[in-house]
Amino acid sequence: MLVLAAARTISTHFMSNPLLDTASLPRFGDIMPEHVMPAIEKVVADHRAKLDALLSIDGKPNIDSLVGPVEHMEHMLGRIWSPVSHLQSVLGSPDWREAYKEALPLLTEHGTEISQNERLQRAYAEVRRNLPAEASSASRSAVDQALRDFHLAGVDLEKDAKERFKAIMQELAATQASFEHKVQDASDAWSLHISDAKRLDGLPDQALTRAADDAARKETDGWLLSLDYPTFHAVMTHAVDRDLREAFYRAWVTRGSDQGESAEWDNSDNIARILALRHEAANLVGFATYADYSLATKMADSTEQVISFLRELAAHSRSTAEHEYRALSEFAGIELQPWDVAFWLEQYKQSKFSISNEQLKQYFPVDTVVEGLFALAARLYDVTLSQNDSVAVWHEDVRYFEVREKTGQALGGFYTDLFARNGKRTGAWIDECVGRMQLNGELELPVGYLVCNFSPRDENGVSLLTHDDVVTLFHEFGHMLHHLLTQVGFPSISGINGVPWDAVELPSQFMENFAWSYDVLTRCSAHAESGEPLPRELFDKLNDSRHAGAAFAMMRQVELGLYDFRLHAEYTPDRPPRVLETLAEVREEVSLIRHPDYNRLPHAFSHIFAGGYAAGYYSYKWAEVLAADAFAAFEEAGIFDQATAQRFRREILEVGGSRDVMQAYIAFRGREPSIEPLLRQNGIQPA
C-alpha cells in the first residue's frame, strides 16, 4: 500500500476514533457519523492550544518556526474533515448529512478565528519582512497568499465588525449547505412511472433496463424513471415522445424552487440570504460588491474586464450560433423549445454525419476508457497507475489507484466513484482527500477523490459511456493530475490549492482535447460485443460533428457566466435581489431560445450558490482560452511530444499556487494566450 507519511505511533485514543487516525488513508469501513463531532472538537481544541504556543515563542518567527507548523495544522484538519465532507456527498445518508451540518458551524468558526487572528497576521507580516533573498518562490507565495487571506477574512476590522464577519461566514456555510441539500432532496423525490412502452421510444437499452429494475425494486409494473443526470440526459437526447422530454425538462429546471413539487425544497429564501450575506461580507472588508471581493483571488483584474471578456466571446460566437439555430429549426420543422434542442441536435448529427450517441456508446465501456486514459497519462508524464484492492472504500463501485514515477517513486493516489446512485450528489468533480505536504522533514503525498455520475453497470457488469461522458472523465482526470503531480511542499499552495479560480480549470479543460484525438480514442475504445476499437470512419464522423451546436453551447456558457457575475456585481441591499429579473435580461442579451416562465435555473445552480464558483462561473471560459491555446502547442509539436508534455508538467502541473499563473503559462507557451485556438476548436470565425 502507498505510504503517505512517516511512521508514527498511534495512541489508543486515536484508534478509538478512526477520523483521528491520519497515519494512513481514511478507514472508510470504520468511520461513522457519530465520530464526526468528537473528532472536530478535539482537533479544534488542539489547534487552538498549539497556535497559542507558537505565538508565545520568543524570537523572530520564520518559515520553519511559524509558517510550517501552521500549514501542518491546517493540513491535519483537512485530512480529518475531508472524509466527512466527501461521505455526505456520495452516500445519501441522513445521518451523514446531519453530522456534516452539525460540525460545519464549529469548523467555519475555527477557520474564521484563525483568519482573523491579529497576532498571527502580525507574525506572518514579520516573516515576510525578514524573508531572505534566496527564499523560494513557494515560501514567498505561501506567506503572501496568507497575508492576502487575512485581509479578506477581516483581520483589520474593529471588534464588532470582526465578530459580524465571523457570524456571516458561519451562516453562509450553513445556508449554502442547505441549498445543496434541497436540490438533492428535490431530485431524489421525483420519479416518473411509465407503463406504456411506446412513450419510451428512442431511449437507450441501458436506460430502459435500469428503469425496469427500479420499477421492480418498487414492486410496480413498467418503468420508473429517476431524475438523476444519466436518465435526464438520456431522455432529453433520445426520447421521441416530446411530452416526456418536456416533463423531464420541467422537473429538472424547477428543482429546489417555488415551481417544484414541494415548498419544502424551495431555495428562494436561501438564494436571497446567500446573496445578502456575501454582499455584507464584501462590504465589511472594503469591497463594493461580492464580485469585486471574488476577483481579489483571481487572474482577472476587474468586473469590467470579466463582463467585456464574456461579451467578446458572445460577439464572436453569435453569428455562428444563429446559423446553427436556424439550421436546426429548419431540420426539425418546428419552433424549438428548450426540451427539443438536445433531441433534434442528436437527430441532426445522425442525419448529417451518420452518427449517434447510442452508436458511439458501444465503443466506450467504462473500464476500457479508464484503461486508455491511464495509458495516456503514463505516456505523457512518465508515470504508472495501478489498482490497489486492499484500500478501504465507501461503496462497492469504488476503486483506488496508486500513482508512481516510472522509477517507482510514489507520487500519490486517488479513488474513483464513477456511477450514479440515489442520494449521491449529481455532477462530476474531484476533491482533496490528502494534500501534498513536505515540511520540516515530513512528507505526505496527495490523494484525491474522482467522482462522476455515469450510468451504472448492468447485470453483466458493463457500463457504456457516451462520448460526452468520455470528455467529462478526461476533464476530471485533468484536475486529478494537477492535484497529484504537484511538487510544492506547502499544502496551502500545492496542487490545485492557491491557484486562481479562473485558472484552476486549465489542466482539466486541456485534458478534454485528448478525447478528440483518434490516436487516443483507439486506445480508449473496444466495442461491447466485438472488442474492436473505434473505427477511423466513425471517428471522422464524430470529429466532423464536433462543431455541430458548438457556438450555441458557447452562448449558453456565456449566459451562465454573465448571469452569475451580474447577479453578484449588481446586488444592492436596499431592494430584493433581482434573481429572475437579471436572468431574463441576460437571456434577452445572449440566449437564442425562449425559456418558459416556470424555468428556475438559479434554484439548482449549485456551482454558484453551494460550490466555489460564486462570481466566478466565467472561469470555465477564461480557462478554456488557456487550455485551447496550450493544446495548440501539442498540436504543433505532436500530441504525444515528450518535450512539450514534460514542459507542461513542469511549468503548469507541478507548481500549484507557488507562481503567478500568467508567468507560468508564458514559461510553458513562450507567450501570452490567444483566443483564436478556442474559436477555431468550436468552428467559430472571429467576428
Please identify which residue in the block is written with the cell numbers 490549492. 497
Q: Residue 29 in 3-state DSSP?
A: coil
Which regions of 426-543 does DSSP assign to beta strands (E)?
Answer: 429-434, 437-439, 442-444, 447-454
Q: Could you give the residue numbers annotated as active site?
A: 476
Closest C-alpha to 63, from 152, 126, 147, 153: 126
The full 3-state SS of 335-404, as one line of letters, equals CCCHHHHHHHHHHHHHHHHCCCHHHHHCCCEHHHHHHHHHHHHHHHHCEEEEECCCCCCCCCCCEEEEEE
Closest C-alpha to 484, from 404, 371, 382, 373: 404
Which regions of 429-501 does DSSP assign to beta strands (E)?
Answer: 429-434, 437-439, 442-444, 447-454
Contacts of 105 (CB under 8 A, 6+ apart): 170, 173, 174
- CA-CA distance, 257 to 268, in Å (whole number)? 6
- CA-CA distance, 266 to 183, in Å (whole number)? 9
- CA-CA distance, 549 to 352, in Å (whole number)? 13
Contact 91, 113 (CB under 8 A): no
In degrees and rounded to multiples of 5, residue 429 shows phi and psi of -160, 165
Query: In the chain, what is the straight-line distance between the N-terminal and C-terminal CA atoms, in Å?
Result: 55
- What are the angstrom distances between the C-alpha of 152 and each of 65, 71, 105? 24, 18, 19
The residue type found at 46 is D
- CA-CA distance, 97 to 41, in Å (whole number)? 18
